[in-house]
Amino acid sequence: MQSYDLVVIGAGPGGYEAAIRAAQLGMQVAIVEAEHLGGVCLNWGCIPTKAILKAAEQYDEVRRGVVPGLLAESVKPDYGAVIDASRKAAARLNKGVGSLMKKNKIDVFMGRGRLAGGRRVQVEGDTPADLEGANVLIATGSTELVLPGVEVDGRRVLTSREALESRELPASLIVVGGGAVGLEFAYAYAAYGVEVTVVEMQDQILPGFDAEVAQALAQSFTRRKIKLRTGTAYRSLELNGDQVSVGVESEKGEEELVASQVLFGIGRRALVDDIGLEQAGVTVERGFIHTGDDYRTSAAGIWAIGDVIGPPLLAHKASEEGIAAVEFMAGARDKPLDYSRVPACIYCQPQVACVGLDEAAAREAGHDVRVGKIPFVASGKAVGTGHTEGFVKLVSDARYGEILGCQIIGADATELIAEVTLAMTLESTVHELGDTCHAHPTLSEMVKEAALAAQGRAINF
């Protein structure tokens, strides 16, 4: 039996950052990982998909002649090389996490961790062990959700996991699910000339996002010849030789869609099975571990963070929760995480990013809403670089100018959202944001301009 102040099960962003913070606070820490340091995000999610999306964006701009003065009529894609580059990026960062563990003197156990009663953790795998922690943090994350009856073969039927190592482009693809994962892959494949159809059962792509943003992205995808079938539910799947036949149903009735491949991007499920939760007395509700605001579970000394405790299923949210949980353990924190200040980002082109309340939610909450909306075409930087799709939409309360939320669609939206998130954290107002000098020419000027527009004093639009 090896004893620690903290044993972390799962080395994704939430788990490994929690382990580092615990070490900084003087704890002796062990971390258990069944597959790869860095978890799904680093190895089979966030990082490799961004490598693929960046390559797709560059190829798409050259192919469509967006770059002035660049003649590349014979340019051809090598998609296998794109996949290779994405895997190298993941491998490099995986090694980086290993280095961080050594730097912070965190013991790493490679294998499957399972609660074995009390605060014991049994590890089965490359480094089997019997561990005991004064505290145990569950950060096992989530995996791709696969519908009953669907068999993923990696050739004709894929999830994001298989797509990230598929080296050949299909002639046509049906994407089931119009959320972040489905739309990122739809964009990437379409950029390389694949005929893509997206099937989404809700009335808009990006369910739950601002309606104006969803509409703008739908229009952009349509211009890129991506077919969007909203209000359409998946019903069945059949394999016919080298093709797949997907049965769908909409208000028009039932029909069959045929393509070379189908990719399911319908969501994720928490990894709560067979890790000893019931034996340890940890409560699971609706497929997720139940915790309090301090991330304690129903079992003494056992904590949980990240995808395994529920939405939003975001890597950066897991990281913040992991750090917060450890600080609660150490008595170094008494303030819960403010989820209204956790941004969400989608990395297709145009990019989408949001934080806080959208306009409809703000009005429903009873605010006297003032909206500042600035199109990218009003930005000198956007016009000069040829990225004029999209807008910045800042939602505020009229009384004091409180910033309630922001939605951005357009180039570098996922970077621009950080300024508004910081402003909300500092409880800044549209007056302070509008009075902040922004460098020219930059895309960030649109954030300033949106803050001014919310006050009725926009300068450049």
* DSSP for residue 132: E
Nearest-angstrom CA–CA distance, 174 and 185 = 10
Candidate list 316, 387, 431, 440, residue with the active-site label: 440
Query: Where does residue 180 fall: left (phi above 0), alpha (psi -120 to 50 degrees), or beta otherwise?
Result: alpha
Nearest-angstrom CA–CA distance, 365 and 376 = 29
**Other beta carbons less than 10 A from residue 289's beta carbon:** 25
Residue with tokens 């769908």: 248
Number of H helices, E strands in the chain: 14, 24
The verdict on whether 440 is a catalytic residue reads: yes
Nearest-angstrom CA–CA distance, 217 and 461 = 22
Distance (Å) of CA 363 to CA 211, 398, 411: 14, 12, 28
Nearest-angstrom CA–CA distance, 387 and 410 = 8
Q: What is the CA radius of gyration of the chain?
A: 23
HEC string of 248-261 equals EEECCEEEEEEECE
Q: Choose among 98, 105, 101, 117: nearest CA to 1.
A: 117
Q: Choose among 151, 195, 233, 192: nearest CA to 57.
A: 192
Nearest-angstrom CA–CA distance, 395 and 384 = 27
Q: Is 64 exposed, middle or buried (0-12, 13-18, 19+ CB in 10 A)?
A: exposed
Nearest-angstrom CA–CA distance, 302 and 9 = 11
Order of all β-strands in the sheet with 157-159: 157-159, 261-264, 172-176, 195-200, 227-230
Decide: helix, strand or coil at residue 378: helix
Amino acid at 33: E
Amino acid at 26: G
HEC string of 203-252 equals CCCCCCCCHHHHHHHHHHHHHCCCEEEECCEEEEEEEECCEEEEEEEECC
Catalytic residues: 440
